[in-house]
Structure 1
Amino acid sequence: MTKEMNRTRYLTLVGTIITQFALGSVYTWSLFNAQLAAKLDEPVSQVAFVFGLLSLSLAVASSMAGKLQERFGVRNVTLGAGLLLGLGFLLTAQASNLMMLYLCAGILVGFADGTGYLMTLSNCVKCFPERKGLISALAIGAYGLGSLGFKYINVLLLENTGLETTFQLWGLIAMALVLCGGMLMKDAPAQSAASQLAESRDFTLAEAMRKPQYWMLALMFLSACMSGLYVIGVAKDIGEKMVDLPVLVAANAVAVIAMANLSGRLVLGILSDKIPRIRVISLAQIITLVGMVLLLFVPLNANLFFVAVACVAFSFGGTITVYPSLVSDFFGLNNLTKNYGVIYLGFGVGSIIGSIVASLFGGFIATFNVILVLLVVALVISLTIRLPDPKTPASAKAASKGSPRLVNMTAESA
């Protein structure tokens, strides 16, 4: 690899980290629920639905980002996402009713965030095929740090400038960061013919979706997202209602979750470069099961409650970090953004399913039982799943027809 190529990929990494930090800011949304409810004279629960809509829009946009990158390139799509993100926040500041809030903050901001999130992550992972786990950990760790960093930024802005100005400044800051990050990025090079011959596992989305392994990975991801997003979203309420903790003590679950989530991203991401990634997912599933068993079957005190939610948050953070590299292990790097994009729909679907189960069947316990069953099924899958059979690359077919040298290379590698 030349010095120029090495410099380019490290600039792409820096740009991706800056962009991910800005995009992670949407996870401070809960700071605004009460003030928006007062402004619009609507129940907090109706305002809080914005975040579920945002998560769904994020997941849908992530599934489409691969096609946008193919047509316009990672830099242009990232710049467009940054501008759309800023516009979404500026319009949110002017929202005067719930529908406008849902459209601007839920759909527009969510779509912008999802367009940039998965595409820049996947592109960066493809730049470092030899260190996929570490790169995922750095990029997604930055996404998690964004929620923590912008928590302090947005609290400071709310205290000093008011609700509308906070949204405007938040949008301008996030947009500026994404634009700066986007300018540093370049599209990752496609895998060479030689590496495709050696690997013989580089599936298009249509080819991947015909493999049972694709849907096994999708179910595993959905289970992880449903458990993680549901428990993280109601952790404070669990502490108050199931453990009878005072409000201030239960609120400490937010800090515990943030630290555990970030730790899971870093620890499991780095570990995934040391041992098979599917085993890292199995480990994450077992840790989540420990947390769910504590919540369901053990009389909880404050310490056990914090351990339980930390187990779930640690595993959730680690899972979403390892999954891009895991999908590339199964289906190749060249089509990673599209192949992972459809699986990533499980992020939005999982968050909504958890809320629906809770509303239909009476809250925490019923939802925990459904999650427990899904996790057991997912663990069985992760322990038994195998890589799909290698396909014959087009380059290998061409080689078999015309190039004796490549035919010999293919035979020797076999």
Structure 2
Amino acid sequence: MSSSTVATSTVASRALAARWYQLIAAVVCMMAISSPQYVWTLFTGPLTERLDVPLSRLQITFSLLIVLQTFLAPLQGFLVDRFGVRRLVAVGALATGVSWVLAAQTTTLAGLYLTYGVLGGLGTGIVYIGTVGLMVRWFPDRRGLAVGAVAAGYGFGAMLTTLPISVRLDGTGLEATLTLFGIGIALVGMSAAMCLKMPPAELAGRRPASKVQTARSPQTRPAQMLKHPIFWLMFVMFTMMSTSGLMVISQMSSFAADFGVAGVTVMGMAAVPLALTLDRVCNGVTRPLFGWISDRWGRENTMALAFILEGVAMMVWLATSSNPVLFVLLSGIVFLGWGEIFSLFPATLTDTFGTRHATTNYGFLYMAQGIGSIIGGPAAALLYETSGSWLPVFSVAISFDIATGLVALMLLKPLRQRWLSATSPVRQP
């Protein structure tokens, strides 16, 4: 064995050990910036009263947050690749925290749009795209698990803040709550970002120790990917799944009040904050769980299982909506079937189009989340205000879930098999 081969092997071995520390740092970054999306529903009531606006107009803030987080993702991914993950993720965490501090001071809807929506969306997008893109590079052999784990941080982070924010809102009000937690977001996120770095090139050649089929070449550029129907099919699927979950995230406090469970306690706790906390647990657990399953069982098979699970859970949830205990428990099952989209889609995309441009490529796919936020946020609120019922809103979300699960098996799976066969597939035993 030559000295260069030994040196390469030594570097790769050290990198394999170091990457777990990178994963921890990336998870902390994601936890820090998760609250703007996942606790938004707690702010809708106080903000509606403070600004004296209807829910549909207020929910534009939520859509702006997600749209800016996602529509600029390709640019954010390019900047991370160009200037380095550590610097850009730190800037993103700072912007996210500042967005809450500034939102605490605003007294107009336009000001809320610019602070919580625009600045918050830019900041969270940089952190999200940067950390996901980093993990698919550090873990080419365990891509589903690693992306699921870092995406879990985005779900688990809000689990730690939901109840404290709820208590703080009741005790000190909106302004003090946004200011305190905004400072915390910035400090925690920037500290974790300082630990991030790109992996050595020796890791790039590792292959999944699984039955996941991947393309041999990592050369697919964004311009090439955007010409392929597989990307656009995944884009539509991601949009449909984002819509259903973001509808629940943004509207839960509102439909819980109409269902008659908002003021009810379960196990001594208010039903909505308890449900939100359980949701964050399930939303976090499902990402590495289904990512790990997909590494072994196949991406599309796992998509079908998870997406249809969410659709069925939402049907039962709607049918038993007035029962506070079932409201809490079923909300968790809904998110168990939803949150894994943030591990399955990036892993599937990278399996298909390679790692070299993974951050920018996923940035284009992640734009679908922005479209889902518009349909699930203000459009869903407008549908409710027009119809006077949440039934049409839930019907759309349930239909999207089940249809996407079937599409994964019937369309995406054969398309990807043909594509990978044409690009010299590697199938591990």
> Could you tell me how far 1:379 is from its partner in structure 2?
2.6
Match of 2:248 in 1: 231
Match of 1:366 in 2: 392
- In the alignment, the residues of structure 2 paired with residue 132 and residue 152 of structure 1 have an alpha-carbon distance, to the nearest angstrom, of 32
From 69, 82, 89, give the equivalent of 1:78. Answer: 89
Taking a change above 3 Å as real, the CA distance of residues 329 and 371 of structure 1, as seen in their structure-2 partners, is same
> Could you tell me how far 1:378 is from its partner in structure 2?
2.0
- In the alignment, the residues of structure 2 paired with residue 119 and residue 267 of structure 1 have an alpha-carbon distance, to the nearest angstrom, of 22
Match of 2:3 in 1: none
Match of 1:14 in 2: 24
Match of 1:124 in 2: 135
From 185, 207, 210, give the equivalent of 2:196. Answer: 185
> Could you tell me how far 1:33 is from its partner in structure 2?
3.3
Match of 1:205 in 2: 222
Taking a change above 3 Å as real, the CA distance of residues 300 and 39 of structure 1, as seen in their structure-2 partners, is closer
Is 1:336 paired with 2:358? Answer: yes
> Could you tell me how far 1:104 is from its partner in structure 2?
0.8
From 132, 152, 174, give the equivalent of 1:141. Answer: 152
- In the alignment, the residues of structure 1 paired with residue 380 and residue 168 of structure 2 have an alpha-carbon distance, to the nearest angstrom, of 36
Match of 1:350 in 2: 372
Q: TM-score, with normalisation over the residues of structure 1?
A: 0.83
- In the alignment, the residues of structure 1 paired with residue 407 and residue 285 of structure 2 have an alpha-carbon distance, to the nearest angstrom, of 25
Q: 1:245-294 CA distances to partner (integer Å, 9 max, x unpaired)?
A: 46325525434433332332242122222211221111112202312443
Is 1:92 paired with 2:122? Answer: no
- In the alignment, the residues of structure 1 paired with residue 87 and residue 111 of structure 2 have an alpha-carbon distance, to the nearest angstrom, of 28
Bigger mean CA deviation after superposition, 280-289 or 380-389: 380-389
Taking a change above 3 Å as real, the CA distance of residues 260 and 17 of structure 1, as seen in their structure-2 partners, is closer
Is 1:379 paired with 2:415? Answer: no
Taking a change above 3 Å as real, the CA distance of residues 329 and 194 of structure 1, as seen in their structure-2 partners, is closer
- In the alignment, the residues of structure 2 paired with residue 70 and residue 246 of structure 1 have an alpha-carbon distance, to the nearest angstrom, of 45
Match of 1:290 in 2: 312
Q: 1:278-321 CA distances to partner (integer Å, 9 max, x unpaired)?
A: 2111111220231244356x566626555653332111112222
Taking a change above 3 Å as real, the CA distance of residues 43 and 85 of structure 1, as seen in their structure-2 partners, is same
* Greater helix proportion: 1
Gaps spanning 5+ residues in structure 2: where? Answer: 1-8, 208-213, 266-270
> Could you tell me how far 1:39 is from its partner in structure 2?
4.1
- In the alignment, the residues of structure 1 paired with residue 89 and residue 64 of structure 2 have an alpha-carbon distance, to the nearest angstrom, of 22
Bigger mean CA deviation after superposition, 107-116 or 249-258: 249-258
Contact 2:42 2:253 in 1 (8 A): no
Give the residue type in structure 2 aligned to 1:389: W
Taking a change above 3 Å as real, the CA distance of residues 381 and 233 of structure 1, as seen in their structure-2 partners, is same
Give the residue type in structure 2 aligned to 1:213: I
Is 1:271 paired with 2:288? Answer: no
- In the alignment, the residues of structure 2 paired with residue 186 and residue 318 of structure 1 have an alpha-carbon distance, to the nearest angstrom, of 25
Task: Give secondary structure in 1 for the equivalent of 2:220.
Answer: coil
Taking a change above 3 Å as real, the CA distance of residues 291 and 198 of structure 1, as seen in their structure-2 partners, is closer
> Could you tell me how far 1:186 is from its partner in structure 2?
0.8
Taking a change above 3 Å as real, the CA distance of residues 193 and 262 of structure 1, as seen in their structure-2 partners, is closer
- In the alignment, the residues of structure 1 paired with residue 159 and residue 400 of structure 2 have an alpha-carbon distance, to the nearest angstrom, of 30
- In the alignment, the residues of structure 2 paired with residue 161 and residue 343 of structure 1 have an alpha-carbon distance, to the nearest angstrom, of 40
Give the residue type in structure 2 aligned to 1:220: M
Give the residue type in structure 2 aligned to 1:319: I
Is 1:108 paired with 2:108? Answer: no
Contact 2:81 2:359 in 1 (8 A): no
> Could you tell me how far 1:105 is from its partner in structure 2?
0.9
Contact 1:190 1:334 in 2 (8 A): no
- In the alignment, the residues of structure 2 paired with residue 94 and residue 239 of structure 1 have an alpha-carbon distance, to the nearest angstrom, of 28
Is 1:169 paired with 2:192? Answer: no
Bigger mean CA deviation after superposition, 129-138 or 152-161: 152-161
> Could you tell me how far 1:202 is from its partner in structure 2?
3.9
- In the alignment, the residues of structure 2 paired with residue 42 and residue 300 of structure 1 have an alpha-carbon distance, to the nearest angstrom, of 27
> Could you tell me how far 1:114 is from its partner in structure 2?
1.0
Taking a change above 3 Å as real, the CA distance of residues 248 and 321 of structure 1, as seen in their structure-2 partners, is farther
Q: TM-score, with normalisation over the residues of structure 2?
A: 0.81
Contact 1:52 1:351 in 2 (8 A): yes
- In the alignment, the residues of structure 2 paired with residue 46 and residue 152 of structure 1 have an alpha-carbon distance, to the nearest angstrom, of 26
Contact 1:201 1:390 in 2 (8 A): no
RMSD after superposition: 3.2
